[in-house]
Amino acid sequence: MKKIVRTICYFSKSPSKTIVDRLNKLETILKIKGFEIQTKRICTTNTNCIKLKDIIKDKSILLGIGKLNFEQSCKRLDDFISAGNVSFNLDLTNENISENRVKILLEIIKKNPGATFCFAYTFNNALSSPYFPSAEFQKEGFSIGLQPTDLAEGCTSLDEWFDRMKLVWNEIYSIFKKDKEFLGIDSSIAPIFEKNGSFIYFMKKMHISFNDSIVTDSYMRITNFIKNENPKPVGLCGLMLPCLEDFELADEYKKGNFSIERNIFLSLHSGLGIDTYPIGIDERMEKIINILKTVQGLSNKYKKPLSVRFVSDGKAKIGEKTNFKNVYLKDIKVRNL
């Protein structure tokens, strides 16, 4: 099995070199046990993005300032845009969603479009998830998130994949269960790129096509498993559907098979929201507001964590191809929301 840790995230109110050293030690422990570590992250709470980057000199560590409300977002927006590569999420759970909330996104697109990758709107967000930009500080400690799609390599059934995931979760739990700083495992399905890293690649192996998979119970079976069988769950523990990070899903988007409505449908019963979904710079304000209101309403109705992360290259209009210059995002022709 290819055991991949997508991220180890340490949550601290006072990030420092001591936290960096702690992350490095955690990385070493997992590597000795045969895990591949993709990223290390630090999430703090409501601080200046530029100052945070000055404190944490290690450029390999991804940084986040957690959840902000609207007023805090307005205050932090300029340093967020200037800093680059620091994440945060704007909590809209109980907000009146109007143009000024959407203008936060539009300002980022205008001044630093690459930073759209680091920003999301959140609703009823889960605490202590290691995945950015949804990560939100609750208490000191670290959580771990995996890239479990690679564990499905060679599997011919969901149950076989489930057995492998549980085996890896239990191994991580056994390593850190006595560590008081260990917050838990976010067992979210976090796909990336293509082939074995892609969740949609596996789903198409299990079914005739992506379209055929939509009205099966596979997505709900996966969600139930990752929520109920995790030995120490923390964070989101849901199914991620990152439109442009999962390159096989990006291909379905290009075919017209992953509309915003289908994304919301899958997210409502099994997913975590709208993620790395492309938006044209000429998209209508009213459409964005209505989508955010819809996700807000569903999240509040079902008390379910959902988020919305739109991405833009700052140039592509509806009908034009993107040029993100981001290895994590597949370039596509942008569709109307």
Q: What is the pLDDT of residues 212-240, one digit of tens each?
A: 999 999 999 999 999 999 999 999 999 99
Average per-residue pLDDT for the chain? 97
Which value, to the nearest 10 degrees, does the dihedral of the CA atoms of residues 294, 295, 297, 298 take? Answer: 120
Q: Above 90 in pLDDT, residue 32?
A: yes
pLDDT, tens digit, 9 for 90 and up, residues 129-138: 999 999 999 9
Nearest-CA neighbor of 245 among 297, 303, 201?
201
Place of tokens 């949550």: 11
Instruction: Please state which CATH number belongs to domain 4-311.
Output: 3.20.70.20
Q: For residue 84, name the pLDDT band (cuts at 50, 70, 90).
A: confident
Tokens at 176, concatenated: 């850190």
What 3-state class would DSSP assign to 273? strand
Q: Is the pLDDT of residue 317 over 90?
A: yes
Closest alpha carbon to 188 in 52, 1, 9: 9
Q: Domain residue spans in the chain?
A: 4-311
Of the chain, the percentage scoring pLDDT greater than 90 comes to 99
Average pLDDT over residues 276-303: 98
CA distance 163 to 182: 23
